[in-house]
Amino acid sequence: MNLRTFLLGTCSAVALAGLAQAETLTIATVNNGDMIRMQKLADDFTSKNPDIQLEWVTLEENVLRQRVTTDIATKGGQYDIMTIGTYEVPIWAKQGWLLPLDKLGPDYDVDDLLPAIRSGLTVDDKLYAAPFYGESSMVMYRKDLFEKAGLTMPEAPNWEFIADAARKITDKNNEIYGICLRGKAGWGENMAFLTATANAFGARWFDENWKPQFDQPEWKNALDFYVKLMNDAGPPGASSNGFNENLALFQTGKCGMWIDATVAASFVTNPHESTVADKVGFALAPDTGLGKRGNWLWAWSLGIPAGSQKADAAQKFIAWATGKDYLKLVAEKEGWANVPPGTRKSLYENPEYQKAAPFAKMTLDSINAADPKNPAVKPVPYVGVQFVAIPEFQGLGTAVGQVFSAALAGQMSVDQALASAQQLATREMTKAGYIK
Amino acid sequence: MARNVSTQRKLVTTAVAWTIGILIFFPILWTFLTSFKTEAQAIASPPAFLFFDWTTENYFEVQSRSDYFKHFMNSVVISFGSTLLGLLIAIPSAWAMAFSPTKRTKDVLMWMLSTKMMPPVGVLVPMYLIFRNTGLLDTRTGLVIVLTLINLPIIIWMLYTYFKEIPGEILEAARMDGASLAKEIIYVLTPMAIPGIASTLLLNIILAWNEAFWTLNLSAAKAAPLTAFIASYSSPEGLFYAKLSAASTMAIAPILILGWFSQKQLVRGLTFGAVK
């Protein structure tokens, strides 16, 4: 045997061994209850697909976003499946960074996906990511405190009622605050809440020519209303409260109302974590009678980077994780209350789910009421309810969030904050070429 | 002659020292205590200090969810590997600068330090591309190299100051006796600088162990060290403070224990040459 045949033989042996080896999918995901549950239940997938192995990279949301964005922008190829949100999908799909999901199989039933969620993940009629769970925002309130104050929460309240109720419930001596809202600066923290709320007040980020609108009276009304309400009926130090801080306040019985992500419903009603689990009621996010409610729309979804070598296996996994059978599997193993919400119509038609999740109807109504392609009262050139789906928004949203947070903390007036936001946005949008 | 210090004054300084010590240590103690609470107790207000139902449930949960040992081994390889490689490069460079300085030595030292002044995220994309093109993404080798490079200025600076304290005449004497350059560094200089080298080693292992920008951004599944292990338990939407505390305790315990045992060496090294 000469050297050449030996080398050829070795090469083909190595190649064959490679073929016989199982394919490994690396999945990047966020740390939340539903995703962790998916990891635990993934044995069901690997036992049905013995030729595919799974490797998980779980990271905190903001770290994950930075990590996967670097990877996909440089075509690093570290991940076969990425967990991304409704903010990333339209931007990435337009860049050609994501593969369209067209091989999810005949049983997948794409038409069963909730239309609002599906539309946020669709670009040019192609689905670029499959929703794993969806959420909107709603009012969570303490039924006992409302009763004590002689108030009844309507199913679809307006902001006037909310503000009035918040001021009545507030009892600062006993550390009871009428309303807890986000104040911590960040495009995904206070700006998610304020952008969605501003929609209800008739405000918008940009007009049809991408001109920032912070100098308009609608923004002034919205921000003024928020700052006054929080000063009168909010907890101290609200300008540093995000989702987690408000969750802790609500669970320890210090908030009369909290308007935030629907995913919080399962936390605040869990008796192991919450001291007020049996006293929580739900209502739609408030409006001001202009036709838009301040509820947002988000879906953690699974997508495949373009150029992936393992696209077929990855689609198989996505079809499993976001399919109807997965919902049944979770229900079987962990009960209906733990099924990832907000993605499929069939789940909300299921009587067992309706019984197990008291917040089901409210979640569905909130999601259905959000329209990412038409979020504000006036027309807008962008997609997104609580964000603007352009790459510049992360930086700009956080910068504006900082001045609004400063207004809440009393470091500047509402007028100063809005002027500053207008200036920041005009500069950024001009630099990025939106304003000619 | 020692100064006369009144008992009262001694008491005051002792109390102040203890207060500062406890203040600095408190976050670690609090993390440790929280790791034994349930999630509901972890956010309770007012918080319970010692009297709560101690539970080890969080540790079991963390262990069942992620492979601690794999992350631990990656951390060990990356921190020790980068520090040893750094020392190999830094000892000769510090020797050169301490014993045969030129007109530009000070500038070179300053230039090296200036590389630490740039925020790392500024070079993330070029670094990521280099790593991708050389196949170093998500490898321990890649992380060892990058941590060596970022810690090298500190290693060289520390060694340089220690070496400056060693009289050049001793090295000259070794040279007179016919020692080659390598022998001079290995058998004469290094043994005399052991306290300094040891504290540089320890400090850099700690720095590399805790480095959380590059290790998070250049690793995925295979080379992920304990920093990634902690990051997988933090969440902006969901209160997992007890589990996060358990994961943090597990991640810092090894380095804390190492620091505890080598405390004497570390302090001795850091104050080496302080008395002129």
The reply to whether A189 and A268 lie within a common domain is yes
Among A63, A65, A82, the residue to mutate for chain B (most B Cβ within 10 A): A63
Is residue A14 assigned to a domain?
no
Are B65 and A39 in contact, with CB atoms under 8 Å apart? yes
Please list, in sequence order, all residues whose beta carbon lies within 8 angstroms of the beta carbon of residue B263, skipping any fewer than 6 positions away: none
Q: What is the mean pLDDT of residues A52-62?
A: 90
Distance from C-alpha of A81 to C-alpha of A188, rounded to nearest angstrom: 23
Question: Using 50, 70 and 90 to split pLDDT, how confident is the model at A13?
Answer: low
Question: Using 50, 70 and 90 to split pLDDT, how confident is the model at A2?
Answer: low
Tens digit of each residue's pLDDT (9 = 90 or more) over A84-104: 999 999 999 999 999 999 999
- Cα atoms in the Cβ-side hemisphere of radius 13 Å centred on B66: 31
The reply to whether A150 and A280 lie within a common domain is yes
The reply to whether A50 and A87 lie within a common domain is yes
Copy the structure tokens of residue A325. 């059978």
Q: Angle of helix A190-200 relative to helix A393-408, nearest 10 degrees?
A: 80
Using 70 as the pLDDT threshold, list the residues of chain B that sit under it: 1-2, 269-276
Q: Is the ipTM of this complex over 0.85?
A: no
Among A66, A69, A74, the residue to mutate for chain B (most B Cβ within 10 A): A74
Is residue A4 assigned to a domain?
no
Is residue B23 assigned to a domain?
no
Find chain B residues with C-beta within 8 A of A267's C-beta.
238-239
What confidence score (pLDDT) does residue B186 get?
87
Please tell me the total count of domains within chain A: 2
- Cα atoms in the Cβ-side hemisphere of radius 13 Å centred on B250: 31
Give the Å distances, CA to CA, from A157 to A160, A325, A357, B44: 8, 36, 22, 31
Containing H/E element for A27? strand A23-30
Pick from B25, B63, B39, B13: nearest CA to B260:
B25
The reply to whether A270 and A290 lie within a common domain is yes
Written as one letter, the residue type at B227 is T
The reply to whether A207 and A106 lie within a common domain is no
The reply to whether A42 and A171 lie within a common domain is no
User: CATH code at B189?
Assistant: 1.10.3720.10
Interchain contact, A248 vs B45, CB within 8 Å: yes
What confidence score (pLDDT) does residue B239 get?
79
Copy the structure tokens of residue A389. 């789906």
For residue B72, how many other CB atoms are within 10 A of its CB? 17
User: Which of A356, A377, A397 is where one domain is finished?
Assistant: A356
Structural Rg of chain A based on CA atoms: 24
The CA-to-CA distance between both ends of chain A, in Å, stands at 72
Structural Rg of chain B based on CA atoms: 23
Copy the structure tokens of residue B208. 């590399």
For residue B251, how many other CB atoms are within 10 A of its CB? 23
User: Which of A356, A374, A406 is where one domain is finished?
Assistant: A356
Domain residues for the domain of B142 are 66-232
Distance from C-alpha of A353 to C-alpha of A357, rounded to nearest angstrom: 6
Interchain contact, B43 vs A63, CB within 8 Å: no
Read off the pTM: 0.84
Return mean pLDDT, chain A: 91
Task: Tell whether the model's pLDDT for residue A295 goes beyond 90.
Answer: no
Is residue B1 assigned to a domain?
no
Distance from C-alpha of A210 to C-alpha of A426, rounded to nearest angstrom: 9
CA angle A65, A69, A75 (to 5 degrees): 150
Interchain contact, B216 vs A63, CB within 8 Å: yes
Q: Give the chain B residue nearest A62 (alpha carbons).
A: B236
Tens digit of each residue's pLDDT (9 = 90 or more) over B126-170: 999 999 999 999 999 999 999 999 999 999 999 998 888 888 888
The reply to whether A228 and A156 lie within a common domain is yes
Q: Give the chain A residue nearest B39 (alpha carbons).
A: A273
What confidence score (pLDDT) does residue A19 get?
47
Is residue B35 assigned to a domain?
no
Minimum mean pLDDT among A3-12, A134-143, B159-168: which range? Answer: A3-12
Tens digit of each residue's pLDDT (9 = 90 or more) over A318-341: 999 999 999 999 999 988 888 999
The reply to whether A308 and A330 lie within a common domain is yes
Name the region of A195 (left: φ>0; alpha: ψ -120 to 50; beta: rest): alpha
Tens digit of each residue's pLDDT (9 = 90 or more) over A380-400: 999 999 999 999 999 999 999
For residue A254, how many other CB atoms are within 10 A of its CB? 20
Is residue B82 assigned to a domain?
yes
What confidence score (pLDDT) does residue A31 get?
86
User: CATH code at A205?
Assistant: 3.40.190.10
Q: Angle of helix B241-261 relative to helix B68-99, nearest 10 degrees?
A: 40
Written as one letter, the residue type at A226 is Y
The larger pLDDT score, comparing residue A359 to residue B24, is at: B24
Query: What is the separation of C-alpha B260 from the centre of its chain, rounded to a whole number of angstroms?
Result: 13
Distance from C-alpha of A318 to C-alpha of B151, rounded to nearest angstrom: 41
The CA-to-CA distance between both ends of chain B, in Å, stands at 18
What confidence score (pLDDT) does residue B276 get?
38
Are B106 and B160 in contact, with CB atoms under 8 Å apart? no
Helix then strand count (H, E) for chain A reads 19, 10
Task: Tell whether the model's pLDDT for residue A313 goes beyond 80.
Answer: yes
The reply to whether A340 and A222 lie within a common domain is no
DSSP state of B188: I
| Pairs of CB atoms within 8 A across A/B | 99
> Is the backbone peptide bond immediately before B46 cis, with ω within 30 degrees of 0?
yes
Q: Give the chain A residue nearest B138 (alpha carbons).
A: A78
Query: What is the separation of C-alpha A296 from the centre of its chain, rounded to a whole number of angstroms?
Result: 8
The reply to whether A75 and A99 lie within a common domain is yes
Which candidate from A31, A79, A247 shows the least CB-CB separation from B232?
A: A31
Minimum mean pLDDT among A251-255, A355-359, B243-247: which range? Answer: A355-359
Copy the structure tokens of residue A435. 């304003």
The reply to whether A333 and A395 lie within a common domain is no
The reply to whether A250 and A343 lie within a common domain is no
User: Which of A305, A339, A356 is where one domain is finished?
Assistant: A356
Is residue A310 assigned to a domain?
yes
Is residue B221 assigned to a domain?
yes
Distance from C-alpha of A393 to C-alpha of A388, rounded to nearest angstrom: 6
Q: What is the DSSP string of B195-224?
A: HHHHHHHHHHHHHHHH--SHHHHS--SSS-
The larger pLDDT score, comparing residue B166 to residue A256, is at: A256
Residues of A within an 8 Å Cβ radius of B: 26, 28, 30-33, 36, 39, 55-63, 66-67, 70-71, 73-79, 188-189, 242-244, 247-248, 251-252, 254, 261, 263, 267, 272-275
Domain residues for the domain of A410 are 137-296+389-431
Is residue A168 assigned to a domain?
yes
Please tell me the total count of domains within chain B: 1
Is residue A383 assigned to a domain?
no
What confidence score (pLDDT) does residue A21 get?
63
